[in-house]
Structure 1
Amino acid sequence: SFNDWQVDKQPNQAKARELGNQAFKLARQLETNQFNVALAGGPGVGKTSLALAIMYQLMSVGQTAMFVSTAELLRLVNEKYEAPDVRERLNYVLKDMKKVDVLVLDDFGTEGGKPTEKGLYKPVHKDLRTLMYDVANARWNLNINDGKLATIITTNNTRSQLENMYSGQTIDRLYTKDTSCQLLFDNMEGVRSV
């Protein structure tokens, strides 16, 4: 929850407080409006914590929500050929990803692996690209060219890096261009103690 957001863990407490306040305001707006939110920055800076706080806030007002690790989603996609039960589980996950009020895609982009020597990212597994496009498209209202269900992504990648991994159409439907809906964890330090 937002009560768990600990600004004192960050050396830049003013920036941490600002990000927490921005996330809270977006959560309140999402109670009555559907739009996408992107939390971008380095690993361990609190993106997932704030995404979960937004999700829990929306669940507290009756919205349905789902948290998906994209790395785990890739694992399921890879294993679906070898295990019928995994294929069935993946179909259930996909169905729910398309219809929940709030979908959190955590660590979006890690499934693309590490960049090449030239700093470019290879496209993700074809089946995952197709799956993610289907999800993004189902959550998008084509009639008004706007989101109909809220999608929150956390990522260590830039928008252009994600476009290298997926298609521009998929990223256009997932990664908001509205800067007021982007929480950028620039100059924040990873505080994960693992």
Structure 2
Amino acid sequence: MDSLSTAVKKMDEDLSSVEAYKKAKEHLSGLTPEEKQAYIKMREMKVDQEAYLKMMATKRKTFDTWSVWGGSGRQKFTFDLWDPSQQSNQAKAAELKLHARKLAKRIIDGSGINVLLAGKAGTGKTAMSLAMVEALRGYSDKTVMFVSTIALSDKIHNFYDKQVQEQVSYTKKLMKEVDVLVLDDFGSEAGGMGNTDKSASEPLQKFFFEVADARQAKDEFGKRTKTNIVTTNQKITGGNNSLEHSYHEKIISRLIAKKEANQLIFGGMEDLRE
């Protein structure tokens, strides 16, 4: 197969050059039918891979562009930046980091799961979710979309701006389709629009049910294909300041992780915001 390797090398040197193409064609003329077939297959695989990578880059850019960020704008964080020594309870902070890494690894390996990061404001829930996102982007081809639910709520309730509502409609479409959806500060948006009992408005209920329901998709083997990562300052149950009070049980059931193995509870972590 030395002649095949030589031909492949010649063809790959510069296919845009007519002279290079002619020279490579001369090398191909000396190959056996089996070697020519092997060469064609190798070229097709290379073209398919390049097309796939280009398609994925375009898809990733679309989901990234349409992510909805809060007042702080676009953010980035990695596991390496998570420093347990900044917390009094360093062991708990280190445990949270390890647990988040394991959950990210499960998602990378193909698990479609719900992940919950819950605790008081400023304890690092958003940062940890962003670290998981960076791991997914670096070690898998999964698409990711980050959505600040407070910022999204402002858009949803801007009823009289047609352009904004068109943006909301397209955002919802992408939220249904993306492999990994991060809902940041989920539940905090529910007390807006003058709703003092902290239950989500009807437009919010309708929006998140449609998204949550669409994200229950399964493959031909009955395996979930979508992952939801939710950060929240609220408890799942317990009074007015709980997710079950803010949203219909069907939404909570579809979005919120029930298993402890899929939960990151930031109890005991201190507010590190300056």
TM-score using structure 2 length:
0.65
Q: Is the 8 A contact 2:184 2:231 kept in 1?
A: yes
Q: Counterpart of 2:127 in structure 1: which amino acid?
A: S
* Shift, 1:145, TM fit: 8.7
Larger radius of gyration: 2
Q: Report the 3-state secondary structure (helix = DSSP H, G, I; strand = E; otherwise coil) of the residue aligned with 1:159.
A: coil
* Shift, 1:122, TM fit: 3.1
1:176 aligns to what? Answer: 257
- Residue 130 (1) aligns with residue 206 (2): yes
* Shift, 1:92, TM fit: 1.3
- Residue 97 (1) aligns with residue 175 (2): yes
The equivalent position to 2:135 in structure 1, one of 43, 57, 63, is: 57
- Residue 87 (1) aligns with residue 197 (2): no
Q: Is the 8 A contact 1:124 1:166 kept in 2?
A: yes
Q: Counterpart of 1:181 in structure 2: which amino acid?
A: N
1:153 aligns to what? Answer: 230
* Shift, 1:113, TM fit: 2.3
Across the aligned residues of Structure 1 and Structure 2, the Cα RMSD in angstroms comes to 1.9
1:165 aligns to what? Answer: 246
Could you tell which deviates more after superposition, 21-30 or 155-164? Answer: 155-164
2:91 aligns to what? Answer: 14
The equivalent position to 1:106 in structure 2, one of 179, 184, 204, is: 184
Q: Report the 3-state secondary structure (helix = DSSP H, G, I; strand = E; otherwise coil) of the residue aligned with 2:208.
A: helix
* Shift, 1:148, TM fit: 3.0
Deviations 1:13-60 (A, max 9, x none): 110000000000000011121101000000000000110111111122
Q: Report the 3-state secondary structure (helix = DSSP H, G, I; strand = E; otherwise coil) of the residue aligned with 1:44.
A: coil
* Shift, 1:142, TM fit: 7.5
Q: Which protein is richer in helix relative to its size?
A: 2
Q: Evaluate the alpha carbon distance shift between residue 3 and residue 174 of structure 1 in structure 2; reply closer, same or farther with a 3 A threshold.
A: same
Report 1 or 2 for greater relative contact order, CA contacts < 8 Å, sequence distance ≥ 6.
1
Q: Is the 8 A contact 2:123 2:266 kept in 1?
A: yes
Count matched residues. 187
2:20 aligns to what? Answer: none
Q: Counterpart of 2:210 in structure 1: which amino acid?
A: D
Q: Report the 3-state secondary structure (helix = DSSP H, G, I; strand = E; otherwise coil) of the residue aligned with 1:135.
A: helix
Where structure 1 has 5 or more consecutive residues not aligned to the other structure, the ranges are: 115-119
Q: Report the 3-state secondary structure (helix = DSSP H, G, I; strand = E; otherwise coil) of the residue aligned with 2:157.
A: helix
* Shift, 1:5, TM fit: 0.9
Q: Counterpart of 2:200 in structure 1: which amino acid?
A: V
Q: Is the 8 A contact 2:191 2:199 kept in 1?
A: no
* Shift, 1:141, TM fit: 3.5
Where structure 2 has 5 or more consecutive residues not aligned to the other structure, the ranges are: 1-77
* Shift, 1:83, TM fit: 0.8
Q: Counterpart of 2:157 in structure 1: which amino acid?
A: N
Q: Is the 8 A contact 2:111 2:224 kept in 1?
A: no
Q: Distance in 2 between matches of 1:165 and 1:146?
A: 29
Q: Distance in 1 between matches of 2:259 and 2:223?
A: 12
Q: Distance in 2 between matches of 1:33 and 1:173?
A: 16
Q: Distance in 1 between matches of 2:223 and 2:263?
A: 16
Could you tell which deviates more after superposition, 176-185 or 143-152? Answer: 143-152
Q: Report the 3-state secondary structure (helix = DSSP H, G, I; strand = E; otherwise coil) of the residue aligned with 2:91.
A: helix
Q: Is the 8 A contact 2:182 2:229 kept in 1?
A: yes
Q: Counterpart of 2:86 in structure 1: which amino acid?
A: K
Q: Distance in 2 between matches of 1:48 and 1:122?
A: 22
1:33 aligns to what? Answer: 111
Work out the percentage of aligned pairs sharing the same amino acid.
40
1:5 aligns to what? Answer: 82
Q: Distance in 2 between matches of 1:30 and 1:148?
A: 10
Q: Distance in 2 between matches of 1:175 and 1:146?
A: 18
Which runs of 4 or more aligned residues in structure 1 lie more than 6 Å from their structure 2 counterparts after TM superposition? 142-146
Q: Which protein is richer in strand relative to its size?
A: 1
TM-score using structure 1 length:
0.91
